[in-house]
Amino acid sequence: MPLNIPETQHERIVVIGAGFAGLKLVRALRGTMYQVVLIDRNNFHQFQPLFYQVATAGLEPSAISFPLRKIFQQQNDLHIRLSEVINVNTDDKLVQTTLGDVHYDFLVIATGANTNFFGMKQIAESALPMKTVGEALNLRNTILKNYEAALTSDDPSEIESLLNTVIVGGGPTGVELAGALAEMRTYVLPKDYPELNFRKMKIYLVEASTKLLSSMSASSSDKATRFLEKLGVNILTGIQVTGYENDEVLLHNGEHLKAHTLIWAAGIRGELPKGIAEVNTGRGNRLLIDEYNQVKGLDSVFAIGDIALFESDLTPNGYPQVAQVAIQQASTLAGNLKRKLKSGSMKPFRYYNKGSMATIGRNKAVVDLPFLRFQGFFAWLVWMFVHLMSIVGVKNRMLIFINWLWNYMTYDQSLRLIMKPGKGSA
C-alpha cells in the first residue's frame, strides 16, 4: 500500500525525522523543484534542550512542542506523513512504513538518537530516560508520585529512598536537571509537602569521567561543580553505575545509593532504521558518512544530526551530537541538493563551533564561546536568550518567557500535575 504521495515530474526527497536536522533541512528546501516527503512518528517538533524543565514542572509540554503542519502551512511541495519506518530498501530506493511504502530519489535519515543503557538490563528496566516529551512527563509523574507515597509511609528508610534522586550523566542534561531539582527542594517542595522533611532529601549526580561537562572548558566545569555543590547536590565523578537492585543504585566501587528515582542521562545511541547494513554503521549505532553527509557505500542516501558519524583525523569520534551540528549539516546538505538541480558540484561540510552552554539554576550558568568564556548571572541571561530565540513559534516563546518570569518572581511553578491516562478523578 503506498503512502498516497502524488507522482510528479520532480525528483523526490524523503526525510525521516523532524528533529533539529530534519526540520532545518525541510525548511531550507522550501520553494525548490523537489518534491519533499517528511516522515515522523509525531506530528510535532520537540525542543529537546528544555525537556528537563518539563520533567521538573517548570514548563508545559506544549510550550516546547510545535505542530509540523503549522510550521509548513502553504508549502505545497511538502507531504507530511505520521508513520513508523519499518525498513529502508536501498536497492529499490524504497522506504517501508507502517502506513505503506514510498519511493525516493534521495533519502535523508535524520532519526536522531535514543538512550544508551550500555547493555545493562537492570538499568534499562528501572531507570528513567528523558529523550522525548513523553519520557519527560513520565519523569515528572514519577517524582511527584514518590513524594505522595512518602507521605503515607511509616518506614524512615523507605521515606528516604522515595525522596532521594540519582542522576547518572554529568553532561548538560544531568547538570541542568540536578540544578533544577535542587532548587525545587529548597523553594517549592517544602511548601507543597510541609509534612516531609526535605532537608533529608539527597540528590546525587554520578559521572563516569573525572569532571562534569567534559566537553566544555575546565573553568566552566569547575564553576558548574561549585554551583551545584552550593545547591547541595552530591557530585560523584570517576564513578560508574553497574546496576540497580531493591531501590539501590550499585556503583563500581561497591557503594550503594538508596533512591527510588534513577534518572539516566549518561549516553545516547543512534536510532537507526532497519535495512541499513552493518558495514554502513559505526560506533554508537550511527551511520558512517563522508564529508558531504552521504552515507558511505549507499547511493543517494544522506544522514545528518545525531545519527550521522563523520570519522577523520580531526574528529575520530565524529562531531558532537548537539543541535548546532545538526542544523549546520542540514543547511549544507540543502545547499548541495539545490546544486544538484543545476548539475553543480557539492560542497563539503565544515562544522563551525559557535560555543556551548549549560544552566545550573537561577542566576547560574556557564558559557563557552570560541573567543570568550564566562559564568554566573550574565551567562544565565545569555543562556535564556539563546534558548528562547531557538524555540519555534512566537506564541511558544511568549509562553516560555512568561513561565520563566513568573518562576523568577515567585520562586514557584504552577505545573506540578500528575497526569495519568484513563477516566475518573479518584
Helix (H) or strand (E) segment spanning residue 339:
helix 323-341
Q: Strand (E) positions, 22-73?
A: 35-40, 44-46, 65-67
Q: What is the pLDDT of residue 393?
A: 80
Question: What CATH number has the domain bearing residue 151?
Answer: 3.50.50.100
Residues 97 and 147 in one domain: no
pLDDT of residue 1: 56
Q: What is the pLDDT of residue 252?
A: 93
* pLDDT at residue 118 is higher than 50: yes
Domain match, 84 and 189 both: no
Averaged pLDDT, 294-312:
95
Total number of domains constituting the chain: 2
User: Which has the closest alpha carbon to 14: 90, 126, 124, 71?
Assistant: 90
Whole-number pLDDT of residue 41: 94
* Cell numbers representing residue 298 in the block: 549507499
Whole-angstrom CA distances from 95 to 1, 159, 307, 308, 357 are 12, 51, 17, 18, 37
Q: Note whether 162 and 149 are within 8 A (CB).
A: yes
Measured CA to CA in angstroms, residue 19 lies from 13, 158, 227, 276, 289 at distances of: 17, 40, 31, 20, 19
Range of the domain at 136: 121-266
Instruction: Check whether residue 204 and residue 100 sit in a common domain.
Output: no
Report pLDDT for 350.
94
**pLDDT: which is higher, 414 or 258:** 258
Q: Assess if residue 239 is contained within a domain.
A: yes
What average pLDDT is seen over the chain? 92
Is pLDDT above 50 for 267?
yes
- To the nearest whole percent, how much of the chain has pLDDT over 90? 80
Average pLDDT over every residue of 304-322: 92
Examine the pLDDT at 423 and tell me if it is beyond 60.
Answer: no
Q: Are residues 308 and 337 in the same domain?
A: yes
Does a structural domain hold residue 132?
A: yes
Kindly state whether residue 205 falls inside one of the protein's structural domains.
yes
Give the tens place of pLDDT for each residue, 344-367.
789 999 999 999 999 999 999 999
Q: How confident is the model at residue 422 (pLDDT cuts 50, 70, 90)?
A: low
Q: What is the pLDDT of residue 77?
A: 84
Q: What is the pLDDT of residues 127-169, one digit of tens each?
A: 999 999 999 999 999 999 999 999 999 999 999 999 999 999 9
300 inside domain: yes
> Would residue 234 be called left, alpha or beta, if left means φ above 0 and alpha means ψ between -120 and 50 degrees?
beta
Give the SS3 label for residue 233: coil
Q: What is the dihedral of CA 75, 77, 81, 85, to 10 degrees?
A: -130
What are the helix (H) ranges across 40-193? Answer: 51-55, 68-71, 121-126, 133-151, 156-163, 172-187, 189-192
The pLDDT of residue 410:
85
Predicted local confidence at residue 344, as pLDDT: 77
Residue 426 is predicted with a pLDDT of 46
Give the pLDDT score at 243.
Answer: 93
Q: Are residues 52 and 156 in the same domain?
A: no
Q: At what angle do helices 156-163 and 133-151 cross, to 10 degrees?
A: 160
Contact 89, 79 (CB under 8 A): no
Burial class (CB in 10 A: 0-12, 13-18, 19+), 99: middle
pLDDT of residue 176: 97
Residue 89: which CATH number? Answer: 3.50.50.60
Q: Are residues 321 and 337 in the same domain?
A: yes
- Does the residue 424 lie in any domain? no
Residue 401 lies in a domain: no
Q: pLDDT tens-digit profile of 29-43?
A: 998 899 999 999 999
Average pLDDT in the 74-82 region?
Answer: 89
User: Is the domain of 154 the same as that of 275?
Assistant: no
- Once rounded to an integer, what is the mean pLDDT over residues 291-312? 95
What does each C-alpha distance from 132 to 116, 155, 261 come to in angstroms? 14, 34, 18
129 and 97 belong to one structural domain:
no
- The residue among 309, 341, 373 that closes a domain is 341
* Percent residues over pLDDT 70 in the chain: 98
Quick one: cell of 243? Answer: 546496576
Can you tell me the mean pLDDT for 295-322?
93
Which pLDDT value is given to residue 421? 64
Of 245, 270, 271, 272, nearest to 258 by C-alpha is: 245
176 is catalytic: yes
Q: Is residue 402 part of a domain?
A: no
Same domain, 74 and 89: yes
Report the sign of the C-alpha dihedral through residues 137, 139, 145, 147, in that order. Answer: negative
What average pLDDT score do residues 402-423 get? 79
Per-residue pLDDT of 211-228, as tens digits, reads: 999 999 999 999 999 999
User: What is the band of 425 on the pLDDT scale with cuts at 50, 70, 90?
Assistant: very low
Q: Of the candidates 289, 324, 341, which is a domain's last residue?
A: 341
- Answer yes or no: do 76 and 133 share one domain: no
**Are residue 170 and residue 74 in the same domain, yes or no?**
no
Give the end of a domain, one of 266, 297, 314.
Answer: 266
Same domain, 240 and 287: no
In a domain, 419, yes or no: no
Of the residues 160, 176, 183, 271, only one is catalytic, namely 176
